[in-house]
Amino acid sequence: MLCLKKALLRCKTCGAEYDAGTARFRCDCGEPLDLVWDGAAIDTNERCQARRYAAFFPFDASEWTSLGEGGTPCVSIARFADELGLKEVAFKNESANPTWSFKDRGTAACIAHARALGYTKVGTVSSGNMAASVAAYAAAAGMEAFILVKGNVADEKLAPIAIYGAHLLRVAGPYDELYKESLRLGAERGIYYANSDVPFRAAGSRTIAFEIAEDRGFDVPDWVIVPTSAGGNIRGIINGFEDLLRAGLTKRMPRFMCAQARNNSPIVTAFANGWTQIRRAPDAETIAHAIDNPFPPSGNRTVAELRRLNGAAVSVPEEDIIRAQADMARAGLFAQPASCVPLGALRIARASGIVKEGESAVLVTTGGGLKYTTAFAAHKLEWRDCAIADLPDILK
Amino acid sequence: MLCLKKALLRCKTCGAEYDAGTARFRCDCGEPLDLVWDGAAIDTNERCQARRYAAFFPFDASEWTSLGEGGTPCVSIARFADELGLKEVAFKNESANPTWSFKDRGTAACIAHARALGYTKVGTVSSGNMAASVAAYAAAAGMEAFILVKGNVADEKLAPIAIYGAHLLRVAGPYDELYKESLRLGAERGIYYANSDVPFRAAGSRTIAFEIAEDRGFDVPDWVIVPTSAGGNIRGIINGFEDLLRAGLTKRMPRFMCAQARNNSPIVTAFANGWTQIRRAPDAETIAHAIDNPFPPSGNRTVAELRRLNGAAVSVPEEDIIRAQADMARAGLFAQPASCVPLGALRIARASGIVKEGESAVLVTTGGGLKYTTAFAAHKLEWRDCAIADLPDILK
- Residues B68-85 have pLDDT tens digits of 999 999 999 999 999 999
* Cβ–Cβ below 8 Å for A395 and B329: no
Is residue A173 within 8 A of residue B387, CB to CB? The reply is yes
What is the secondary structure of A291-322 as a DSSP string? G--SS-TTHHHHHHHHHHTT-EEEEE-HHHHH
Cβ-based contacts of B178 with chain A (< 8 Å) = 388
CA B377 from chain centre, in angstroms, equals: 25
Q: Is there a contact between B281 and B294 (Cβ–Cβ < 8 Å)?
A: yes
Given B93, B100, B373, which is nearest A368 (Cβ)? B100
For the residues A244-265, what does the mean pLDDT come to? 97
Query: What helix, strand, coil percent values describe chain A, rounded to 5?
Result: 40, 20, 40
pLDDT, position A145: 97
Check residue A342 and give its pLDDT. Answer: 98
Asked if residue A345 is part of any domain, the answer here is yes
Per the model's pLDDT, the better-predicted residue between A242 and B23 turns out to be A242
Residue B302 contacts residue B235 (beta carbons within 8 Å)? yes
Mutation site, B92, B149, B330, interface A, largest A CB count within 10 A? B330
- Contacts of residue B227, defined as CB under 8 A and 6 or more positions apart, other chains included, come to B259, B260, B288, B290, B291, B338, B339, B341, B342, B364, B366
Chain A residues in contact with B370 by the CB 8 A cut-off are 100, 160, 368, 370-371
Min Cα separation A71/chain B (Å): 7
Give yes or no for a contact between B230 and B296, defined as CB atoms under 8 angstroms apart: yes
Are A334 and B95 in contact (CB < 8 Å)? no
ipTM of this complex prediction, to 2 decimal places: 0.96
Q: Does A74 touch chain B (CB under 8 A)?
A: yes
A90 vs B: CB within 8 A: no
Q: What gap in Å lies between CA A180 and CA A195, rounded to an integer?
A: 10
Is B217's Cβ below 8 Å from some Cβ in A? no
pLDDT at residue B343 above 70? yes
Ranges A26-35, A66-75, B42-51, B210-219: which has the least confidence: B42-51
Question: What CATH number corresponds to the domain at position A268?
Answer: 3.40.50.1100
Query: Considering the domain boundaries, does residue B129 fall inside one?
Result: no
Q: Which residue among B75, B177, B385 places its CB closest to the CB of A388?
A: B177
Chain A hits for B100, Cβ within 8 Å: 95, 100, 368, 370
Domain region containing A357: 74-99+199-378
pLDDT digits 0-9 by tens, A135-174: 999 999 999 999 999 888 888 889 999 999 999 999 999 8
Three-class SS of residue B74? strand
Q: Which of B82, B119, B120, B381 to mutate to test the interface with A (most CBs of A within 10 A)?
A: B381
Is the pLDDT at A62 greater than 80? The verdict is no
Residue B75: helix, strand or coil by DSSP?
strand
- Residue pair A289/A153 in contact by the 8 Å Cβ criterion: no
Residue A262 placed within a domain: yes
| Residue B176, pLDDT score | 84
Total CB pairs under 8 A between chain A and B: 247
What digits encode the pLDDT tens for the residues B291-338?
999 999 999 999 999 999 999 999 999 999 999 999 999 999 999 999
Put simply, the chain A residues between 29 and 68 with a CB less than 8 A from any chain B CB are 44-45, 47-48, 66-68
Q: Of B117, B134, B115, whose CA–CA distance to B126 is shortest?
A: B134
In the sheet with B167-172, reading across from the earlier edge strand, the strands are A384-387, B167-172, B144-150, B121-125, B191-193
What is the per-residue pLDDT for B393?
94
* Chain B residues in contact with A185 (beta carbon < 8 A): 391-392, 395
Walk across the sheet containing B17-19 and list its strands: B17-19, B8-10, B34-36
B285: how many CB neighbours lie within 10 A of its CB?
Answer: 12
Kindly list the residues from chain B whose CB atom is less than 8 angstroms away from the CB atom of residue A100: 95, 100, 368, 370
The pair phi, psi for residue A330, each rounded to 5°, is -75, 0
For residue B27, tell me if it sits in a domain. Answer: no
Rounded distance between C-alpha atoms, residue B57 and residue B37, angstroms:
7
Mean pLDDT over the full length of chain A: 95
Averaged pLDDT score across all residues of chain B: 95
Q: CB–CB of A387 and B173 under 8 A?
A: yes
Q: Using a CB-CB distance cutoff of 8 angstroms, which residues of chain A are in contact with residue B67?
A: 73, 75, 93, 332-333
Predicted model pTM: 0.97
Q: Are strands B255-261 and B167-172 parallel, antiparallel or unpaired?
A: unpaired
Question: What part of A 352-371 touches B (C-beta under 8 Å)?
Answer: 368-371
Is residue B49 assigned to a domain? no
pLDDT at position B1: 57
Is A298 within the bounds of a domain? yes
Of residues B291, B277, B285, the one with CA closest to residue B230: B291
Domain count across chain A: 1
* Residue A289 predicted with pLDDT over 60: yes
Rounded average pLDDT over A277-303 = 93
The secondary structure of residue B230, as a DSSP letter, is S
pLDDT of residue A380: 93
Model confidence pLDDT, tens digit, residues B249-302: 999 999 999 999 999 999 999 999 999 999 999 878 999 999 999 999 999 999
pLDDT of residue A295: 93
Rounded to whole angstroms, what are the CA distances from B57 to B39, B51, B113? Answer: 7, 10, 10
d(CA A125, CA A12): 24
DSSP string, B337-348: GGGGHHHHHHHH
pLDDT of residue A1: 57
| pLDDT at res. B230 | 95
A393 lies within 8 A of chain B by CB: no
Residue B337 domain-assigned (yes or no): yes
Confirm whether B233 is domain-assigned: yes
Q: What is the 3-state secondary structure (H, E, C) of B91-152?
A: EEEHHHCCCCECHHHHHHHHHHHHHHCCCCEEEEECCCHHHHHHHHHHHHHCCEEEEEEECC
Nearest to B143 by CA among A330, A78, A343: A330
Amino acid at B130: M
Of B74, B172, B189, nearest to A395 by CB-CB distance is B189
**pLDDT of A279 over the 60 cut:** yes
Please report the pLDDT score of residue B75 as a whole number.
Answer: 97
Q: Which amino acid is at B256?
A: F
CA A339 to chain centre: 9
Distance from CA of B195 to the nearest CA of A (A): 16
The set of residues, in sequence order, having a beta carbon less than 8 Å from that of A68 and lying 6+ positions away, is: A47, A48, A98, B72, B73, B74, B75, B93, B96
- How far, rounded to the nearest angstrom, does the alpha carbon of residue A5 sit from its chain's CA centroid? 26
Chain A, 144 to 173: residues with Cβ < 8 Å from chain B are 146, 148, 151, 156, 158-165, 168-173
Least confident of A51-65, A305-319, A342-356, A381-395: A51-65
Determine whether the interchain pair B162/A383 forms a contact, defined as Cβ–Cβ distance below 8 Å: yes
Inter-chain CB proximity B100 and A97 less than 8 Å: no
Interface test with A, best of B80, B163, B192 (most A CBs within 10 A): B163
Lowest mean pLDDT among A276-280, A283-287, A362-366: A283-287
pLDDT by residue (tens digit) across B120-178?
A: 999 999 978 999 999 999 999 999 999 999 888 888 889 999 999 999 999 999 888 99
Contact B160 A379 (CB under 8 A): no
Provide the 8-state DSSP code for A126: -
Nearest CA to A211 out of A119, A327, A92, A384 is that of: A92
